[in-house]
Amino acid sequence: MDFNVQADTQEISVFRKEVREWLQENMRGAEGLRWSATWSTRENEEEYQFRRKLARELGEKGWLFPMFPVEYGGAGLTIDHQLVLETELDHSGINLAAVFYTLARIVAPVILKWGTEEQKREFLPPMLCGEVSVWQVLTEPQGGSDIATCHTKAIKNGNHYVVDGQKTMVGYHHPPDFLWTLVCTDPSGPRHENLSWLYIPGNSDGITIQPMSLMMGIKNTVFFDHVRVPAFNLVGGENNGWRVANTHLELEHGGEGRVGADPLVERVVAYCQQMRVAGAPLMEDTSIRDIIADMMIELHAVHLFARRNFWHRYVREPHPYGGAQFRYYQRMVRLRNGERLQQIMGCDALVPNLTVNEVVDFEYVVRSGPGMLHGGGTLDTDRLVFARRVGLGRPTKETAPTTI
């Protein structure tokens, strides 16, 4: 087994050097910015613009999707290159999967798997190059977890679909260029055989976006009122949407994997080394060290699960239950860490520190703990998927869909 780029080959060390130098050059000007990594209530226009620019520059080199084919805007590199890129970006506080507000990391592989050649050539390059942002638009107010009960209708009319309905809890602070949307194309059809996916331009007439202020940041309700979408933008076949959704959900439910790791523990340790209580650094306190140890061990397991899932995805042998297991665990660990941070640093854990990346902004970790439990499906759907994949109480096991 090799958990890393064990000994950098000549090619990989040259690449690492190239990435480092590139980052030094391209991160210039970012020093004064406050980072908000994935999404949050701490909106800052200057930072957002910087992130978009950084994404375009990464995208130009194919580095946003290092392992994707060159013809669609990837770089056609290996898993070891991906590892180098993620690790080096992590050092700068950037998560390669979320350089700016977009969910291309999930939508792009789904389109790569289900799109026609023409669709891939049209939709993928702008997404992979970081030029456009895309939201995933599934949840409805009535259906909630049960996304197959989809009331948003898309009825074919000539070369177009006409979309009517409402989605909720989707997207980010900035309006999207595209909405990757689950719709019902056959209202009288049987469950799971009446759905389709539309790649809807964000500037289409009839779309209204209403921001919602949530404990973890901004999400939106989206209203579709007679929105006309070219039939070309239906991906994966009419009424075949549930199968496409399986690919989508496998990625979203943890099957995506990740090779990099978040630096939360290092930041906690740095805090404890500096903060003195009763004449000694907090880091000398045995009970504090015990709490940090638990935090570190659980985060390490989360990280190894993510790496395992990435590996399985990469060799096209999806882990049977790894995605759901990872996501359930990651979110429970995050929740526990919120409490641990409060135990370690008292009320300092409740004060936002706008000078740091939000991944390691302690207040954000604490605040988002309970909210982040539900994104893309709740802890209960994770466990439900796990049970089916392992075949608990069932004679057969549901197989995990292959993703790209």
Partner 1 sequence: MDLRLTKTQNMFKRAAADFVKVEAPSHIVTEWFRNKATFLPDLYRKAANLGWLGMVVPERYGGASASFTDCAVVFEELGRVPLPGPLFSSGVLSALLVLEGASEAQKESLLPAICSGRSIVIVAITDKGVDWGTESVETRLTNTTGGFVLDGTKRFVYDAEGATSFICAARMENGGIALVLVNRESPGISITPHVGFMVSVAEVRFDRVKVAASSVLGEAGAGWQILDGALQKALPILCAYQVGACQEIFDFTAEYTRTRVVFGQPIGRFQRVQDHCVELSIHLDAARWVTYEALWKLDSGLPAAAGVHEAKAVASEAYYQVCNFSHMVHAGPGTDYGHPLMAHSLMAHTLYQYLGTPLHHKRKMMDALYPRGKG
Residue 273 sits in the site that holds partner 1 (CB under 8 A): yes
Residue 123, token pair as written in the block: 């939709």
Q: By the 8 A CB rule, do 151 and 194 touch?
A: no
83 close to 18: Cβ distance less than 8 angstroms: no
Do 201 and 175 form a contact (C-beta atoms < 8 A)? no
Task: Check residue 21 for interaction with ligand FAD (CB under 6 A).
Answer: no
Give the one residue of 304, 339, 346, 399 binding partner 1; rule: CB under 8 A. Answer: 304
Rounded to a whole number of angstroms, the minimum distance from the CB of residue 136 to ligand FAD is: 5
Between the two ends of the chain, the Cα-to-Cα distance in Å is: 23
Give exposure, 81-93, as e/b (b: 16+ Cβ within 10 Å).
Answer: bbbbbbbbbbeeb
Q: How far apart are CA 139 and CA 221, in angstroms?
A: 10
Residue closer to partner 1 (CB basis): 1 or 347 = 1
Q: Is 398 in the site for partner 1 (CB under 8 A)?
A: no
- 357 three-state secondary structure: coil
The 170-209 site mask, x for binding ligand FAD (CB under 6 A), equals: x---------------------------------------
Binding piece for ligand FAD, criterion CB under 6 A, among 133-141, 203-211, 268-276, 329-337: 133-141
Q: Does 61 bind partner 1 (CB under 8 A)?
A: no
Report strand pairing: 234-235 vs 195-201.
antiparallel
Query: Which of 86, 140, 250, 252 is an active site residue?
Result: 252
Sign of CA dihedral 139, 143, 148, 151: negative
If the CB atoms of residues 89 and 249 are measured against ligand FAD, the closer one turns out to be 249
Q: Which token pair is 89?
A: 């970006």
Q: How does strand 160-170 pair with strand 234-235?
A: unpaired
CB of 232 to ligand FAD, least distance (A): 23
Of 137, 207, 292, 400, which lies in the binding site for partner 1, with binding defined by CB under 8 A? 292
Residues recognised as catalytic: 252
| Interface positions with partner 1 (CB under 8 A) | 1-7, 79-80, 83, 259, 269, 273, 281, 283-284, 286, 289-290, 292-294, 296-297, 300-301, 304-305, 307-308, 311, 321-322, 325, 328-329, 380, 383-384, 386-387, 390-395
